[in-house]
Amino acid sequence: MTSRTLIADLAHLPEGPVRVAGWVDTVRDQKKVQFIVLRDESGAAQLVNPAVREGDEGDPTITEAISGLTNGTFISVEGELKHDERVKLGGLEVKIGDLEVVAPALDSPIAEDSSIDKRLDWRFLDLRRPEQNLVFRVQTTFLHALRTWWVEHGFIEIHTPKLMASASESRAELFEVEYFETKAYLAQSPQFFKQMAQPAGFGKVFEVAPAFRADPSFTSRHATEFISIDAEISWIDSHEDVMRMHEELLVAALTAVKEKHGAEIEAAFGVEVTVPTTPFPRIPLAEAKEIVAGRGYTVPRADADMDPEGERQIAAYVKEQFGHEFVFLTDYASSIRPFYHMRHEADAGLTNSYDLIFNGVEISTGAQREHRVELLEEQAREKGLDPEELGFYLDFFRYGVPPHGGFGMGLSRVIMLLLQQPSIREVTYLFRGPNRLQP
């Protein structure tokens, strides 16, 4: 049997025998012509039954088989590759010599109802769309570029546990699970464990892994299980060092995406990928709120984080003033930050921290961490946490730890905003939310 050729590779082959395999996208079964648009993981191509086109009987078995094909049926075809610039689909076609129905398909349940909830019910069918295929190829390139940058800059990859004995952030957002004779919690972030690598002497670490938040939100940017991109580095002077690392990392990733997929993204989504310049704009949170107020919108609570409309407004301002899709909002109040964020030396009411806004939505939080154990204990008590329950974490700091900091970033949010999709549900392989546990 002839080896299978991916459709994307057909253009580089000379005319001659080939075998292609995939699923039926469409069938045009007319009296004088039979065409199949075949799709595989790499693209689509036109197949033609030459017997019908040329008016002879040919192989009636093939003609009958094509007439009975349903969309989504997986087939394998051996035939003759012909290059013909008149063919709109890739300038080539395959003349069918032999056709095998590998796996017939029922009529698609999402053909008539293409709502997001219906498509998610039948996600494996929805993922056949070329736009969805592109989403995950973009994601693959993005993550590969991140890893390449980290490795080339001396980072160590770690894999932290997702079952924890205590909270790493807010106890209100914990999923509790039975764990033999006790209770365990699904990790909200690898925060404590990536910090543990600093007294261990690893210096610079990264992780790409699932995280879990028991947050009953139904917004376009929240999920109960998501992929978190994390990095932590030692020997920093302030959160500025973390921001510098963060922006260089994103420039490398977006450069790779633009080079490999820029034309495809523009064709599929009408989006031009922009590689940002460095440094990204930096605006203290208090100043950002003043800017937003000057644009006619007041963030509801003065002592709170920037709300979604505030994020959109500050992003619009940065786009207008700097032509930039990213902005770091810095110097968050200690009252709205975790206990482990370092406070300003001159003003304990502020932290050495930031949020990164991309196209109007927050995608990441980063900070310099407090590494002095006595201050950590004090700040934990201020947040209503019991230092005794944080014993294993606080022990990290009793045996020497360098100044350090890092960030956590949601993968799906980045891809959603990069491709300008309406919801992370469109760019998550299998979405998990408050009312979705299947498929």
What's this model's pTM, rounded to 2 decimal places?
Answer: 0.94
411 annotated ligand-binding residue: yes
Question: d(Cα 302, Cα 178) in Å, to the nearest integer?
Answer: 40
Fold of 124-426: BirA Bifunctional Protein; domain 2 (3.30.930)
4 annotated ligand-binding residue: no
Q: What pLDDT score was predicted for residue 52?
A: 59
Strand spans (E) along 201-276? 204-212, 225-234
Q: For residue range 406-435, what is the model confidence (pLDDT) as tens digits?
A: 999 999 999 999 999 999 999 999 999 999
Q: Please state, in angstroms and as integers, the Cα–Cα distance from residue 256 to each residue in 41, 125, 230, 274, 368, following that order.
A: 21, 29, 19, 11, 28
Q: Confidence band (pLDDT; 50, 70, 90) for 389?
A: confident
Reply yes or no on whether the pLDDT at 53 is more than 60.
no
Q: Give the list of residues 6+ apart from residue 199 with CB closer than 8 angstroms, or none.
A: 396, 397, 399, 400, 401, 402
Mean pLDDT of 306-321: 96
413 annotated ligand-binding residue: yes
Dihedral through CA 140, CA 141, CA 145, CA 147, nearest 10? Answer: 10
CATH superfamily for domain 7-103: Nucleic acid-binding proteins (2.40.50.140)
**Which of 48, 128, 56, 54 is closest to 87 using CA atoms?**
48
> On the CB side of 392, how many CA atoms lie within 13 Å of its CA?
8
Q: What pLDDT score was predicted for residue 114?
A: 86
398 annotated ligand-binding residue: no
Reply yes or no on whether the pLDDT at 58 is more than 90.
no
Share of the chain above pLDDT 90, in %: 88
Reading the block at residue 418, the tokens are 């990069």
Question: d(Cα 279, Cα 277) in Å, to the nearest integer?
Answer: 6
Rounded to the nearest 10 degrees, the angle between the axes of helix 308-322 and helix 285-294 is 80
Reply yes or no on whether the pLDDT at 400 is more than 70.
yes
55 annotated ligand-binding residue: no
Q: Identify the helix (H) or strand (E) that includes residue 154.
A: none
* Residues β-bridged to residue 225: 212
Determine phi and psi for 424, rounding to 5 degrees: -65, -15
Q: What pLDDT score was predicted for residue 57?
A: 55
* Other C-beta atoms lying within 10 Å of the C-beta of residue 309: 14
166 annotated ligand-binding residue: no
> On the CB side of 310, how many CA atoms lie within 13 Å of its CA?
20
Q: What pLDDT score was predicted for residue 168?
A: 61
389 annotated ligand-binding residue: no
Mean pLDDT of 224-237: 98
Q: For residue range 345-371, what is the model confidence (pLDDT) as tens digits?
A: 999 999 999 999 999 999 999 999 999
Q: Identify the helix (H) or strand (E) that includes residue 325.
A: none
Q: Where in the chain are the domains?
A: 7-103, 124-426
262 annotated ligand-binding residue: no
